[in-house]
A = this chain, B = another copy of it.
Amino acid sequence: MSAPSPDDELVFLPLGGSGEIGMNLNAYGYGPPDERKWIIVDIGVTFGREEATPGIEIILPDPSYLEDERDNILAIVLTHAHEDHIGALGWLWPRLKAPVYATPFTAALVREKLRETGLLDKVPLTEIPLKGQLTLGPFEIDFVTLTHSIPEPNGLAIRTPLGLIWHTGDWKIDPDPLIGETTDEAKVRAMAEEGVLAMVCDSTNVFVEGTAGSEADVRKKLTEVILGCTGKVAVTAFASNVARVETALHAARAAGRTPCLVGRSMHRIYAAAKSVGLLQDAPEVIDEEDASDLPDEKILFLCTGSQGEPRAALSRIARGEHRNVTLRQGDTVIFSSRVIPGNEAAIHALYEEFVRRGVSLITADDHHIHVSGHPARDELKQMYQWARPRIAIPVHGEMRHIREHVKLAQSLQVPETIAPNNGDMIRLAPGLAALIDEVPAGRLYVDGNVIIETDDEAIRDRKRLAAEGAINIALAVSAKNAVVAGPNVTVRGLTMPDDEDLELALEELEGAAHGAFAKLSHGERDDDDAIEGALVRAVRKSAERLWRKRPLVDVTVLRL
């Protein structure tokens, strides 16, 4: 590796995931300030909740700073295939247009994603083998095998002329991950010998004492629990946790049950896993349509929907709306999953639906049938002892996680710590780490097929429409500025206890519109904006009195 030039700087820029859970987007820049070359590490989404962001399912990090730097982006490197690390690729790649690098399982899922959005032929996607290497301008990157809750979780050892960055991605220390190798401790220790300038590290579970626990323990317990069930059994888990999926399949075999995958992403990930040689030893799965041929005690459904997503398989089963799967008294649903913060109400409602049907519930509160994929405090301490970084940069967490992680690193005598916010440009070298710039950062909404700002007027209007409703007024005005038809008033989202009351309300609104027009001067009647303003004010006032609400009022003046 060449020696650094005197003007060279090494910078870190998080644009997502620092100050929030999900939606990770990190960038590293190297070179003189006006000639930086960039690599992007991960490009994820977060999900809108139907209630909080109606009409918005996918939320993206705002990449506008990097968009302007597009010609200097050497690569998008993906650590692993979770949606909060790869999900934005299909949406944002056209703005960034950099080559993409990922290990085989991640690449398989990325390819499928790109196929869906018609980008497969456009995006240069290179597969890197596990423990592979990659040189991108001033960056030399080693993929380091870790353990997490998905196959092929990689940390990145990023060497630059100004020092080595250890970017952990998402990880835990699972002594028996079931799929894939254990954490490459030797590699991390070797990095420490070489000297780690900065460790950019997962903060998700910094408030959790102890260790995350092993997938192997879950396999033991889940098998035991399933053996104890009578009737039909449905297990729900994240499809991307292929070790867990394999556990359910093995447990089914042990219990003499035939496994059946239910839900699109189960099939998707199952196929991706098979394509890279995983799940070879697992029993064959049957189609949903054939499941009803089996006696209740011979079937195990493996379902998507552990977070109470209303359209996922499990919610449809709970509502009795699933075409091929019905559960009732005597059957059991096993949640081999956790409750992601924000989903409590939806999951609660799902529980209730099952309880009302007499279906038994087993959750991770009852038995040790779930472990997290993120490091608890003892694992974090272990990693700091292995890597011995000069600078600790916690990412992948809300601000309270990141600040707590900073405290932890300080307690471990890491010399420098930084709690980054999205958009903070941090110089890692030369000199002490420092915030040198703040660039635009935030969220974008995918709204139908359009990407919009979160404060777009359309979103503000939709929130207002949801709470307050809408009133539309149309009137036709002659060349002599006389009203020749209307004002005609219609409402949406506003009602009255009975039709007669509603009729009277509409009459009152029309009267208000009429009255407002009548009060306009001749000059004002020439001006559509003046007409509109006067009618909106008058009708809104009537509406507030009638409903104690503030609807959006729109006026259309048709000129003859």
Residues of A within 8 A of B (CB): 19, 49-52, 54-55, 341-342, 344-345, 348, 351-352, 355-356, 361, 398-400, 403, 447-452, 456-459, 461-463, 465-470, 472, 474-476, 484-486, 488, 490, 492-497, 547-549, 552, 554, 556, 558-560
* In-complex Cβ contact of A465 among B355, B361, B470 (8 A): B470
Kindly state the separation between the CA atoms of A449 and B549 in the bound complex, as whole angstroms. 8
Label chain A's interface by main secondary structure.
mixed
Distance, CA A241 to CA B448, complexed state (A)? 46
Please report the C-alpha to C-alpha distance between residue A448 and residue B494 in the assembled complex, in whole angstroms: 10
- Closest residue of chain B to A339 (Cβ to Cβ) is B344
B345 engages A52 (CB within 8 Å): yes
Once A462-B493, A558-B485 are accepted as A-B contacts, the answer to whether A345 and B342 lie under 8 Å apart by CB is yes
Q: Are B344 and A341 in contact (CB under 8 A)?
A: yes
Are A497 and B451 interface neighbours, CB within 8 A? Answer: yes
Given contacts A355-B398, A456-B495, A462-B469, 12 further A-B contacts (CB under 8 A): A19-B356, A54-B467, A55-B467, A356-B399, A452-B495, A462-B492, A470-B492, A474-B474, A476-B485, A476-B560, A484-B560, A490-B554
CB of A550, distance to nearest CB on chain B (Å): 9
Question: Which B residues are CB-close (under 8 A) to A50?
Answer: 467
For A55, A351, A470, the residue with the greatest tally of chain B CB atoms inside 10 Å of its CB is A55
Contacts of A344 in B (CB 8 A): 341-342, 344
Q: Give Cα A451 to B547, complex, Å.
A: 10
Taking the closest CB of chain B, its distance from the CB of A500, in whole angstroms, is 14
Set B467, B472, B549, B558: member contacting A558, Cβ < 8 A: B558
A456 proximity list for chain B (CB < 8 A): 495
Top 4 A-B pairs, shortest CB-CB distance: A466-B466, A55-B467, A485-B558, A54-B466
Q: Do residues A547 and B472 form an inter-chain contact, with CB atoms below 8 A?
A: no
Contacts of A495 in B (CB 8 A): 447, 450, 452, 456-458
Q: Please give, as numbers and ranges, the residues of chain B lying within 8 Å of A341 by CB-CB distance.
A: 344-345, 348
Closest beta carbon of chain B to A354's beta carbon, Å: 9
Task: Give every chain B residue within 8 A of A399 (Cβ-Cβ).
Answer: 352, 355-356
Q: Are B493 and A554 in contact, with the CB atoms below 8 A?
A: no
Give chain B residues whose Cβ lies under 8 Å from the Cβ of A403: 355
Q: Which residues of B contact A468 (CB under 8 A)?
A: 55
Chain B residues contacting A459 (CB-CB under 8 Å) are: 493
When distances are taken between beta carbons in the complex, the residues of chain B under 8 Å from A348 are 341-342, 398
A5 to B376, CA, bound (A): 68
User: What chain B residues lie within 8 Å of A342 (beta carbons)?
Assistant: 344-345, 348
Distance in Å from the Cβ of A126 to the closest Cβ of chain B?
Answer: 30
Q: Out of B351, B450, B474, which one reaches A400, CB within 8 Å?
A: B351
Contact status of A55 and B345, CB under 8 A, knowing A485-B476, A495-B458, A558-B476: no
